[in-house]
Amino acid sequence: MRDKFNCDVILEKPKDRSFGHFATPIAFSLAKELRKSPMAIAEEIATSFNESEMFGAVESVKGYINFRLSESFLDEYASWALNHGEQFGSSDKKGSILLEFVSANPTGPLHIGHARGAVYGDTILRLGRHLGYDITAEYYVNDAGNQIDLLGVSLQLEGRSSLLGEVVEWPEKYYRGEYLSDLAREVVELFGEDALRDESRQKELALWAKDKILTLIVEDLAAINVHFDTFVGEASLYNEWDRVMAKMGEGVYTNEGKTFIRSSEYGDDHDRVVVREDGRPTYLAGDIIYHNQKFERAYEDYINIWGADHHGYIARVKAAITFLGYDSEKLEVLLSQMVSLLKDGEPFKMSKRAGTVILMSDVVEEIGAEALRFMFASKKCDTALEFDIEELKRQDSSNPIYYIQYAHARIQTLIAKSEKSMDEIMASHLHGLSADADGLLFEALLLPEIIEDAFESRQAQKLPDYLKVLAGRLHKFYYDTRILGTEDETKLLKLLLVVALSIKTGLSLLGIQAKDRM
């Protein structure tokens, strides 16, 4: 229809389910082109669906077309879903994607800002893979440049101060935190006290500490069920610098001893320095080489998840991609806003181990990995997030993850209490359902649509939003409907199995394991 009439067909879900499962105002869009009234067009379209087994009724109402799915279709779809288990909602989408996220500097433990990007990236990864996309999860390790130099000096200063009792002067930009004390103790055990005083060993200690911190980062990520396929180190890329510079052609130029990229030609405020007067490359230089390497690996699309403070960085990186001869439109940059944490309404206290940030591991210790993942995935990533961790520790309906998990556990308890066998339940037909049961079944079968929409729109929060709604409908249905010991027991339990499947699959895509008992 879109090809014929050159307009989108919008399907809506009526709030009043008596109108049907779907409705469309397409007749109003076609009225001018067809020179007919919307009512006449709607009636004509509705009539054309009379022979479809998919719909129990298709009706035109004041220019709208209402669709009610047939009982046989819903029953067959429910049986198919149950027989395919957690493959429900999967697809056979094609395309290779390189997804880079977290990429926190290996100079300290992960803080809650990193955690938000990690959860968002991993959720997008899981959604995309479920749909069939070939996605590689990559971590870019900034193991070169000034931040690594600062790490070496900071480690020596911390060791001399906390272990050797010396009075040291701390420059403002240097790293602080108890994690450095722990590393300094290892330095003394492995290399001796002199290593903390020998300035010539700062680079060696920095690279050693970087590897230790990166191991800690990987362990912290694993604790919230986030894993990467590949790691690319910045330092390993610089032997490609001359080749990449030549590839940039006229996209770079020299002025007053510095080398600039002409990023202002592609939306940047001004041209940016990529090589300083002393020959040292800037942070941007590493990103240029890295993105050249990315595109040389020939993925079909590229997604970067960056902190919101990198917004101004997008134009210059895309300019570099263009100068390198690639299509910058293939790079999609998603921004992750910061997080504010409260505890009983007061700002969450920072850990001594962290220095000046709230550590992700401290929050996981307080509320658990599943609550952290759910909360961080539950709000649009490019908007600020503030929440009170005490709310996520409550074992009641005010805690969304508890509410959803309890819905799944409640269904499993009913199945266990029933004297009906699983074969009896699976063989039953979902015919003659009440309006409430029909609404619950329809909601549960919407999961594939939610998964695709959440991924394609990059709005991961649509999945937790859906799960909250589904859990709410389940709890209401449970309180309003007698299930065990009724004539409809088998088909109602089959309906609940579909709900449980959608909850379990949805939670899995959020990196959370559904609970059978609570």
> Are 505 and 412 contained in the same domain?
yes
Tokens representing residue 266 in the block: 């592609």
Q: Alpha-carbon distance 514 to 471, whole Å?
A: 13
Specify the CATH number for the domain of residue 19: 3.30.1360.70
> Are 403 and 505 contained in the same domain?
yes
Whether 107 is in a domain gets the answer no
Tokens representing residue 452 in the block: 């695709």
Whether 109 is in a domain gets the answer no
Contacts within 8 Å (CB) and 24+ apart, 62-65 = 63/25, 63/27, 63/28, 63/37, 63/38, 63/39, 64/23, 64/24, 64/25, 64/27, 65/23, 65/24, 65/26, 65/27
Q: Alpha-carbon distance 104 to 122, whole Å?
A: 15
Q: Each residue's pLDDT tens digit in the chain (518 positions)?
A: 444 445 667 777 777 767 778 778 777 877 777 777 878 777 777 777 777 777 767 777 777 777 778 888 999 999 999 999 989 999 999 999 999 999 999 999 999 999 999 999 999 999 999 999 999 999 999 999 888 999 999 999 999 999 999 988 888 788 888 899 999 999 999 999 999 999 999 999 999 999 999 999 999 999 999 999 999 999 999 999 999 999 999 999 999 999 999 999 999 999 999 999 998 889 899 999 999 999 999 999 999 999 988 888 999 999 999 999 999 999 999 999 988 888 888 887 766 555 567 889 989 999 999 999 999 999 999 999 888 888 888 888 889 999 999 999 999 999 999 999 999 999 999 999 999 999 999 999 999 999 999 999 999 999 999 999 999 999 999 999 999 999 999 999 999 999 999 999 999 999 999 999 98
Do residues 232 and 141 lie in contact, with contact meaning Cβ atoms separated by under 8 Å? yes
Q: Alpha-carbon distance 363 to 115, whole Å?
A: 10
Crossing angle (nearest 10°) for helices 283-296 and 241-248:
80
Whether 285 is in a domain gets the answer no
Predicted local distance difference test score (pLDDT) of residue 25: 79
Closest CA to 294 of 3, 510, 286, 204: 286
Closest CA to 71 of 83, 82, 79: 79
> Are 404 and 500 contained in the same domain?
yes
> Are 62 and 78 contained in the same domain?
no
> Are 410 and 472 contained in the same domain?
yes
> Are 482 and 399 contained in the same domain?
yes
Closest CA to 206 of 281, 107, 105, 354: 107
Whether 318 is in a domain gets the answer no
> Are 84 and 51 contained in the same domain?
no
Whether 237 is in a domain gets the answer no
> Across the beta sheet with 230-233, what order do the strands follow?
230-233, 134-141, 96-100, 301-307, 331-336
Whether 416 is in a domain gets the answer yes
Whether 116 is in a domain gets the answer no
Predicted local distance difference test score (pLDDT) of residue 420: 96
Predicted local distance difference test score (pLDDT) of residue 1: 42
The position carrying tokens 């803080």 is 111
Count Cβ atoms within 10 A of the Cβ of residue 15 and give its class: 0-12 exposed, 13-18 middle, 19 or more buried: exposed
Q: Secondary structure of 133-199 in the HEC alphabet?
A: CEEEEEEEECCCCHHHHHHHHHHHHHHHHHCCCCCCCCCCCCCCCHHHHHHHHHHHHHHCHHHHCCH
Predicted local distance difference test score (pLDDT) of residue 3: 45
Q: Alpha-carbon distance 141 to 400, whole Å?
A: 35
Do residues 398 and 387 lie in contact, with contact meaning Cβ atoms separated by under 8 Å? no
Which of 210, 237, 254 is the last residue before a domain boundary? 210
Domain that holds residue 454: 74-92+395-509
Residues 6 or more apart whose Cβ sits within 8 Å of residue 230: 136, 137, 138, 139
The position carrying tokens 């590689």 is 136
Q: Which amino acid is at 454?
A: A
Q: How far is CA 100 from CA 191, 333, 366, in A?
A: 35, 10, 28
The position carrying tokens 């087994």 is 53
Tokens representing residue 416 in the block: 């266990």
Do residues 137 and 101 lie in contact, with contact meaning Cβ atoms separated by under 8 Å? yes
Query: Model-level pTM?
Result: 0.90
Number of domains in the chain: 3
Specify the CATH number for the domain of residue 423: 1.10.730.10
> Are 495 and 452 contained in the same domain?
yes
> Are 434 and 501 contained in the same domain?
yes
Q: Alpha-carbon distance 421 to 430, whole Å?
A: 17
> Are 7 and 83 contained in the same domain?
no
The H or E element that residue 315 is part of is helix 313-323
> Are 64 and 153 contained in the same domain?
no
Residues shown for the chain: 518
> Are 171 and 78 contained in the same domain?
no
Whether 313 is in a domain gets the answer no
